[in-house]
Amino acid sequence: MYTMMQVCKETDMTYQTLKYYCNEGLVPNVKRDENNRRIFDEHDVKWIKDLVCLKKCGMSIKEMKDYLDLCLQGESTILERKILLAKKQEALRENIKELEESVAYIDWKQSFYDDVLSGKRPYVSNLISKYNE
């Protein structure tokens, strides 16, 4: 069994976040020790790691609750879960594409600045008009 702090360390989650997830019902069947402190087993820790991943995938608390509800219904909801995850996957791929375009822009801009600083090309700005000089 794991304490809250042990789970936080294992999942790289803050104590406040884990407590919030528990209070929101995202960690079902939470057990308590003799002092009424939450304790977790291996299954709980694996599920909490899944929650961390779902959050990193961009899922809201409501979406995670919806996913949890489907999971708790068992095998009959696998297709619904696949559809939900496929939508998140597509959104993540679109985000990756946008990030790659942003990185390419910064790469180009850094190269432009290097060329200006080394004297290979003159400085040109879309913000500064030649007529203002």
End-to-end C-alpha distance for the chain, whole angstroms = 72
Which parts of the chain fold into alpha helices (H)? 4-11, 15-23, 42-56, 61-72, 78-118
Say what the pLDDT of residue 29 is. Answer: 87
Side by side, the strands of the sheet bearing 38-40 are: 2-3, 38-40, 31-32
State pTM to two decimals: 0.79
CATH code of residue 20: 1.10.1660.10
Residue 67 lies in a domain: yes
Listed in sequence order, the residues at least 6 apart from 121 whose beta carbon sits closer than 8 Å to its beta carbon are: 112, 115
Q: Is the dihedral of CA 81, 87, 88, 93 positive or negative?
A: positive
For 81, the token pair is: 């879960």
Residue 62 lies in a domain: yes
Residue 126 lies in a domain: no
Residue 51 lies in a domain: yes
Residue 55 lies in a domain: yes
Q: Is the dihedral of CA 16, 20, 42, 64 positive or negative?
A: negative
Residue 60 lies in a domain: yes
Q: What is the tally of structural domains in the chain?
A: 1
Which residue range is the domain that position 46 belongs to? Answer: 2-72
- Say which residue the tokens 């790691």 belong to: 49
Mean pLDDT per segment of 10 residues, for the chain of length 133 residues?
A: 95 96 94 94 96 95 97 97 96 97 98 96 85 57
For 9, the token pair is: 């360390």
Say what the pLDDT of residue 126 is. Answer: 85
Residue 11 lies in a domain: yes
Residue 17 lies in a domain: yes
Listed in sequence order, the residues at least 6 apart from 117 whose beta carbon sits closer than 8 Å to its beta carbon are: none
